[in-house]
Amino acid sequence: MTDRMFLRQLEGYRLTTAEIHYRLPDHPSLLQLFVWQDYDIAPEFPILQNFLDYWREQLEGALHSVRVAHQRLIKPSEWRAVDGVIRLH
């Protein structure tokens, strides 16, 4: 059985992490941090946008800032030639 996340990566989805700073409803001068992670498509990030829309509509903590990191997980193999032989018994 093929992993669903692997199939999403083949479709162009990549691991996306968002660092979301928001203000506490009872103490607006304090910032809280929430880390969100899912597979999404850059540069539009539709899944993250849906999450942030939900946040604005349903949650009381006002968003302060969002920082996004995006990583391709499927990429060409990295290799290098090594001269020498290691013998074990």
Residue range 1-11, pLDDT digits in tens: 568 888 888 88
What phi and psi values does residue 30 have, to the nearest 5 degrees? -100, 140
d(CA 42, CA 39): 10
Among 44, 43, 19, 41, which Cα is nearest to 31's? Answer: 19
Q: Tell me what the pLDDT averaged over the chain comes to.
A: 84
Residue range 29-52, pLDDT digits in tens: 999 999 999 999 988 999 999 999
d(CA 48, CA 87): 51
Domains of the chain, by residue range, sit at 4-71
| Full-model pTM | 0.75
Residue range 65-88, pLDDT digits in tens: 999 998 766 665 555 556 665 565
- The mean pLDDT value for 24-29 works out to 92
